[in-house]
Amino acid sequence: MIDRLRSLLRPLVVPLWLAAGLGAAVAQPAAPSAPVAPATVSSGMAPRVLACVTCHGKEGRATQEGYFPRIAGKPAGYLANQLLNFREGRRSYPQMTSLIEHLTDDYLREMAAHFAALDLPYPPPPAPQAPPATLERGRLLVQQGDAARNIPACVQCHGPAMTGVNPFIPGLLGLPRDYLNSQLGAWKTGQRRAHAPDCMADIARQLTPDDVSAVSAWLAAQPVPGGGKPAASLAGTMPMRCGGVDGVPVAGR
Q: Which of 218, 205, 161, 195 is nearest to 81 (CA)?
A: 195
Beta strands 164-165; 169-170: pairing state: antiparallel
Structural contact between residues 200 and 242, judged by C-beta atoms closer than 8 angstroms:
yes
Q: Which of 155, 158, 166, 162 is nearest to 74 (CA)?
A: 166
Q: Which helix (H) or strand (E) holds 106?
A: helix 105-116
**How big is the chain by its Cα radius of gyration, in Å?**
18
* 242 assigned to a ligand binding site: no
Alpha carbon distance 183, 172 (integer Å): 11
* 114 assigned to a ligand binding site: no
Q: Any idea what the Cα angle at residue 203 is, between residues 190 and 67, rounded to 5°?
A: 60
Q: How far is CA 209 from CA 74, 134, 149, 166, 215, in A?
A: 27, 12, 15, 30, 10
* 199 assigned to a ligand binding site: no
* 157 assigned to a ligand binding site: yes
* 55 assigned to a ligand binding site: yes
* 200 assigned to a ligand binding site: yes
Known binding residues: 52, 55-56, 96, 154, 157-158, 200
Known binding residues for heme c: 52, 55-56, 96, 154, 157-158, 200
